[in-house]
């Protein structure tokens, strides 16, 4: 049995013009010790999916359907109190995009780590918890005395390391890492990623690694789930997604990232904008940007189909793999799609623009707030 089994999850945000269907029918499993990458453009629903797992989302978010089974427990049925007591930090922790927002500015970083440890582990004295926090700082390359500093006294890289310390302090079985290095200087990004994966291996935890960077996932993940418009449109082991993808969106993402083994590679971006997640149209959500969209793609929502064991794709044309891969590598394919609204190889589509990104981010919060008693 998988450690985490998400089935048909629907997490929506209440907005002025309706529900934003940020996670809209997602199924995903994670095995013990496994690292699964979530990739996709900004606004595709990666963070919402992760935050749904530990219910660390804003007040206007709601799980409207589906199930999240973690180690045999249906966690959508737990009360907030049970989730905080039994699961959050202890079993599942999160490294947010920007650690600085994750710490409470009024407590020292050390106090917040001590508080999390003592809240979850009975009988640990303050001195013991402090000594563990110091050890963790040391292991993560932060001078242990700095546990008495306030978050604003930390650089971005140090705050991110401290957040990693906090996320790993209780040896959780699952870590949710949400773009853990994007807020950092490129020079230290690699080192932080290395630190995360080393510590993860040490405590043998599974990880969901969110990123829009294909090179990060290819280095760190066992499997990759490609997220588009609130759905997982393709999932397989990392090698398959990188070398043999079947979904046109994955092919487009691959074109947009440099391949260091190919000096002559021309980077091609995917034209258009992500779908409006308030009241999305029937059919494939990628159709308005897809150069391969045919009539069915506009009308019929594709169901996930398994092509090889564990390789699932939501695309009506995914069995035409040779053609898709060859054509997707040509810049003209995507330029034509840009010019006529997504129908370079079919005359069945329409040319309507997909509209703006839902953009309704009012009340959005990345704060994990480990210091607040309600969140530990
Ligand atoms: N608090 C909120 N209220 C309303 N809509 C929201 C809120 N937070 C996110 N959304 C919307 O939900 C959708 C998914 O957002 P989400 O942050 O999960 O995507 P993402 O793939 O993680 O993007 P990013 O890489 O930018 O973090 C987007 O359309 C976004 O505008």
Complex-level ipTM: 0.98
- Please tell me if the CB atom of residue 360 comes closer than 6 angstroms to any atom of ligand 1: yes
Regarding beta strands 206-211 and 223-228, do their DSSP bridges make them parallel or antiparallel, or are they unpaired? unpaired
Shortest-distance atom of ligand 1 to CA 363: 1
> What pLDDT shows up at residue 343?
46
Regarding beta strands 35-39 and 92-95, do their DSSP bridges make them parallel or antiparallel, or are they unpaired? unpaired
Can you state the angle between helices 248-255 and 321-328, rounded to 10 degrees? 30
- Please tell me if the CB atom of residue 39 comes closer than 6 angstroms to any atom of ligand 1: no
Kindly report the pTM of this predicted structure.
0.87
- Please tell me if the CB atom of residue 48 comes closer than 6 angstroms to any atom of ligand 1: yes
CA of 167 to the centre of ligand 1 (A): 22
Distance CA 44, CA 21 (A): 10
User: Is residue 12 pLDDT above 80, yes or no?
Assistant: yes
Ligand 1, pocket-test mutation among 10, 63, 364, 367, most atoms within 8 A of CB: 364
Query: Residue 344: how many CB atoms within 10 A of its CB?
Result: 21
* Residue 218 near residue 242 (C-beta atoms within 8 A): yes
Half-sphere exposure for 47 (CA within 13 Å, toward CB)? 22
> What pLDDT shows up at residue 263?
65
- The residue with greater pLDDT, 281 or 73, is 73
Regarding beta strands 35-39 and 206-211, do their DSSP bridges make them parallel or antiparallel, or are they unpaired? parallel
- Please tell me if the CB atom of residue 58 comes closer than 6 angstroms to any atom of ligand 1: yes
Regarding beta strands 35-39 and 223-228, do their DSSP bridges make them parallel or antiparallel, or are they unpaired? parallel
Please enumerate in sequence order all residues whose Cβ is within 8 A of that of 134, keeping only pairs 6 or more positions apart, or say none: 110, 144, 147
User: Is residue 298 pLDDT above 70, yes or no?
Assistant: yes
> What pLDDT shows up at residue 262?
65
CA of 230 to the centre of ligand 1 (A): 9
Please enumerate in sequence order all residues whose Cβ is within 8 A of that of 194, keeping only pairs 6 or more positions apart, or say none: none
Distance CA 125, CA 171 (A): 18
- The residue with greater pLDDT, 85 or 365, is 85
Regarding beta strands 73-74 and 61-70, do their DSSP bridges make them parallel or antiparallel, or are they unpaired? antiparallel
Task: Give the residue, by CA position, lying nearest to ligand 1 atom 25.
Answer: 42
> What pLDDT shows up at residue 183?
73
Average pLDDT over residues 313-342: 84
> What pLDDT shows up at residue 338?
56
Evaluated on CA atoms 276, 76, 58, 62, the torsion sign reads: positive
User: Is residue 354 pLDDT above 70, yes or no?
Assistant: no
> What pLDDT shows up at residue 261?
64
Ligand 1, pocket-test mutation among 361, 363, 367, most atoms within 8 A of CB: 361
Average pLDDT over residues 224-235: 97
Average pLDDT over residues 119-131: 93
Residues 135-190: pLDDT tens digits? 989 888 899 999 999 999 998 888 988 998 899 889 999 999 999 887 777 878 88
For residue 279, what pLDDT band results from cuts at 50, 70 and 90?
confident
Distance CA 163, CA 104 (A): 12
> What pLDDT shows up at residue 117?
92
* Residue 22 near residue 15 (C-beta atoms within 8 A): no
For residue 350, what pLDDT band results from cuts at 50, 70 and 90?
very low
Q: Domains (ranges, CATH) in the chain?
A: 4-226+361-375 (3.40.50.300), 247-276+279-340 (no CATH)
Ligand 1, pocket-test mutation among 17, 40, 44, most atoms within 8 A of CB: 44
> What pLDDT shows up at residue 260?
59
CA of 52 to the centre of ligand 1 (A): 12
Distance CA 217, CA 372 (A): 32
CA of 365 to the centre of ligand 1 (A): 10
Residues 15-28: pLDDT tens digits? 999 999 999 999 99
> What pLDDT shows up at residue 148?
96
102-105 own/partner pairs: CB under 8 Å, 24+ apart:
102/163, 102/366, 102/367, 102/368, 102/369, 102/370, 103/151, 103/159, 103/162, 103/163, 103/369, 103/370, 103/371, 104/151, 104/369, 104/370, 104/371, 104/372, 105/150, 105/151, 105/152
Please enumerate in sequence order all residues whose Cβ is within 8 A of that of 273, keeping only pairs 6 or more positions apart, or say none: 289, 353, 354, 355, 356, 357
Shortest-distance atom of ligand 1 to CA 48: 18
Shortest-distance atom of ligand 1 to CA 38: 21
User: Is residue 76 pLDDT above 70, yes or no?
Assistant: yes
Q: In the chain, how long is the greatest CA-to-CA distance?
A: 71
User: Is residue 83 pLDDT above 70, yes or no?
Assistant: yes
- Please tell me if the CB atom of residue 258 comes closer than 6 angstroms to any atom of ligand 1: no
- Please tell me if the CB atom of residue 46 comes closer than 6 angstroms to any atom of ligand 1: yes
Average pLDDT over residues 206-231: 92
> What pLDDT shows up at residue 258?
67
Q: What's the mean per-residue pLDDT of the chain?
A: 86
- Please tell me if the CB atom of residue 361 comes closer than 6 angstroms to any atom of ligand 1: yes
- The residue with greater pLDDT, 258 or 43, is 43
């Amino acid at each position: 049995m998988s450690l985490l089994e998400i089935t048909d999850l629907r997490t929506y945000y209440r907005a002025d013009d309706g529900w934003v269907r940020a996670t809209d029918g997602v199924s995903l499993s994670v095995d013990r010790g496994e690292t699964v990458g979530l990739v996709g453009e900004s606004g595709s629903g990666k963070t919402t999916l992760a935050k749904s797992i530990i219910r660390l989302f804003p007040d206007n978010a709601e799980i409207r359907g589906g199930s999240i089974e973690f180690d045999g427990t249906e966690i959508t049925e737990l009360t907030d109190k049970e989730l905080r007591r039994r699961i959050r930090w202890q079993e599942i922790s999160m490294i947010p995009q920007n650690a600085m927002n994750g710490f409470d500015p009024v407590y020292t970083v050390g106090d917040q780590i001590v508080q999390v440890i003592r809240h979850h582990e009975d009988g640990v004295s303050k001195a013991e918890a402090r000594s563990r926090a110091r050890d963790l700082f040391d292991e993560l390359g932060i001078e242990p005395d700095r546990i008495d500093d306030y978050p604003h006294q930390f650089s971005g890289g140090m705050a991110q390391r401290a957040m990693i310390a906090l996320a790993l302090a209780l040896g959780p079985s699952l870590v949710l890492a949400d773009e853990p290095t994007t807020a950092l200087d490129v020079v230290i990004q690699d080192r932080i990623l290395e630190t995360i994966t080393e510590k993860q291996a040490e405590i043998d935890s599974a990880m969901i690694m969110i990123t829009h960077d294909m090179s990060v996932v290819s280095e760190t993940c066992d499997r990759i789930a490609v997220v588009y418009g609130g759905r997982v449109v393709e999932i397989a082991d990392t090698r398959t997604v990188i070398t043999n993808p079947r979904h046109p969106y994955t092919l487009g993402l691959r074109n947009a990232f440099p391949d260091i083994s190919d000096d002559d590679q021309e980077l091609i971006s995917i034209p258009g904008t992500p779908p409006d997640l308030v009241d999305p149209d029937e059919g494939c959500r990628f159709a308005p940007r897809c150069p391969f969209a045919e009539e069915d793609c506009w009308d019929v929502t594709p169901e996930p189909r398994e092509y090889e064991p564990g390789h699932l794709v939501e695309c009506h044309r995914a069995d035409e793999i040779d053609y898709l891969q060859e054509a997707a590598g040509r810049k003209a394919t995507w330029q034509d799609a840009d010019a006529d609204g997504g129908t370079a190889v079919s005359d069945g589509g329409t040319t309507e623009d997909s509209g703006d990104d839902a953009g309704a981010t009012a009340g959005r919060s990345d704060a994990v707030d480990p210091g607040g008693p309600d969140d530990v």
